[in-house]
Structure 1
C-alpha cells in the first residue's frame, strides 16, 4: 500500500486505539484533525533515503510500544524485502504535529528506516522527537497515548 509522504490520509474514516494488554477494549472516533501520510512505501516507488538524527528511531520505537491503533485482522508484509524474509506489520501509529495535523504511519515504519534506509520528512522527525514519552507511557486505559481523542469518542470498555 503506497501513499506519498505528507498527502492526506484517507484509508480509514475513523481512528481507533486498542488496549495492547487486553486486546479487547477500544476507543474509536472520527478525527477532527487532518491526518498526513508518512512512510507508506511500496516496491517500485521511489522514497527518500538518508540518516535520521540520533535518538529518533529509539523514540519512535518507544512510541510504538505504548500506542496500538487501527489494528486490522490481516497483516501487511514489507514489499521491499524478499518475500521469504519479509516482516509483517499490523496497525498504525499517530504522531501529533502542529495544531490540527497528525502524522499517520504504518507500524512497519521503523523497519523501513532500519532495513531500507527510508528517511521520513523532517516535520515527522521533529514531531516524534517532541512527543512527551513519559506522559504517553503513563496513560492507562481508557486513556490512550495520543492527545487529541475527543471527549465524545466511542469506548468499548468490556
Structure 2
C-alpha cells in the first residue's frame, strides 16, 4: 500500500493517475490519515471507545474513491503469512469532512485502530465522531 504521513496533503490521485487533480474536496484541502506501512512509525495507544466501529461503518457510507487494486494489511500479512499478499484487504478510501479540511483514509483504517493500536490524529477522530 502507499504510505503517506498523517496530516500531509493528499496526493494519491496525482501520484497515480490524475495529473489535473486539485487536492481539494468540496473546496477544502484534502489531507491524509491512516496510510500506514510496515517499518514506518505510527501513533499507538488506546483510541476512543467505538472509533473502530464508526470507521468500519464509514467504509460503507463514506467510500469516496476506489483505489487501484487490493491493499493488504502490511502488519497482518507479514506477521502471519510472511508475505504482503495476504491478510485483511481494502479497495477504497473513506473521506470525512472536518471543518476547514477533509480527511482521506484507506478503508483499512478501522482494522488498524482495532487490531494494531493505531490512534489517528485528534482532529480526525473529532471529525469522524461528529459525522457518526
TM range (shorter): 0.7 to 0.9
User: Residue 53 of structure 1: SS of its match in structure 2?
Assistant: coil
| Deviation, structure 1 residue 59 | 1.7
Specify which structure has the higher proportion of helix.
2
* d(CA) in 1 for partners of 2:48, 2:68: 34
Query: Residues 88-147 of structure 1: CA distance to partner in whole angstroms, max 9, x if unpaired?
Result: 111100111123x1011001101111111111001010000100x4xxxxxxxxxxxxxx
Structure 2, unaligned runs of 5 or more:
15-23
Please, which runs of 5 or more residues in structure 1 have no aligned partner?
Answer: 14-29, 134-158
Number of aligned residues = 115
Shift of 1:73: 4.7
1:58 to 47, 53, 61: 53
Aligned alpha-carbon RMSD (Å): 1.6
Q: How many angstroms does 1:69 deviate by?
A: 2.3
Within-5 A mapping of 1:82-97: 82-83=77-78, 84=81, 85-97=86-98
Query: Taking structure 1 as the reference length, what is the TM-score of the superposition?
Result: 0.67
Aligned to 1:67: 62
| Counterpart contact for 2:6–2:33, Cα < 8 Å | yes
Structure with higher strand content: 2
Q: Over alpha carbons, which structure has the higher Rg?
A: 1
- Cα offset for 1:70? 1.2
Structure 1 CA distance for aligned equivalents of residues 60 and 77 of structure 2: 26
Correspondences of 1:3-14 after superposition (within 5 Å): 3-13=4-14
Q: TM-score, normalised by structure 2?
A: 0.79
Distance 1:37 1:62, change over 3 A: same
Q: Do structure 1's residue 78 and structure 2's residue 73 form an aligned pair? A: yes
